[in-house]
């Protein structure tokens, strides 16, 4: 019998401001938790003021914990692509800078292959995909006031509008 911990996997996704990415992914069936934070940089335990300068190499990232018996990694990636402009280079909407890049941080070869296949599909659909694939590194959880920002403040994402792409 499979243990419960094997059913829970993590995805690390960056698509501009992490508030909007978290807002959409947190509502997905099969997602048990989401956290906003920073990944990919060269500074241990970075703070928001440091990351927002764009000089640390970190990207605003969402850690997604999901139950593989309820939702697949591919389904999570499809929602990810449908909630940001994956063709924009160097930011997302009005958020410009390397810290707002579109990045899929993969944790294993299966995740990498799934992401490559979806990027290839999007390309065949006529899109110029700016999303990069990078190996996951240490995820540094952001400050508490960033966690579930839109839910706490009663707002909705300003640069993460859902747009159906996949059938």
Other CB atoms closer than 10 Å to residue 8's CB: what's the count?
14
Q: What is the DSSP string of 81-121?
A: HHTS-TT-SSEETTEESGGG-EEEEESSHHHHHHHHHHHHH
Is beta strand 59-67 parallel, antiparallel or unpaired with respect to 91-92? unpaired
Q: Is 159 a catalytic residue?
A: no
**Is residue 25 within 8 Å of 34, Cβ to Cβ?**
yes
Q: Whose CA is closest to 72, among 36, 134, 22, 115?
A: 115
Query: Of 11, 13, 14, 17, which is the active-site residue?
Result: 17
Give the C-alpha separation, 33 to 136, whole Å: 18
Q: Which residues are catalytic?
A: 17
């Amino acid at each position: 019998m499979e243990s419960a911990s094997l059913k829970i996997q993590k995805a690390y996704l960056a698509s501009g401001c992490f508030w909007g990415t978290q807002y959409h992914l947190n509502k997905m069936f099969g997602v048990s938790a989401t956290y906003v934070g920073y990944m990919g940089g060269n500074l241990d335990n970075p703070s928001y003021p440091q990351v927002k300068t764009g000089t640390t190499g970190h990207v605003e990232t969402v850690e997604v914990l999901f139950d593989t018996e309820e939702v697949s990694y591919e389904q999570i990636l499809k929602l990810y692509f449908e909630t940001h402009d994956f063709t924009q280079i160097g930011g997302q909407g009005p958020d410009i800078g390397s810290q707002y890049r579109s990045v899929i941080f993969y944790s294993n070869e299966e995740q990498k292959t799934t992401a490559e296949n979806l990027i290839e599909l999007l390309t065949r659909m006529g899109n110029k995909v700016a999303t990069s694939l990078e190996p996951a590194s240490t995820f540094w959880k952001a400050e508490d006031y960033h966690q579930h920002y839109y839910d706490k403040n009663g707002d909705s994402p300003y640069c993460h509008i859902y747009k159906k792409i996949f059938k």
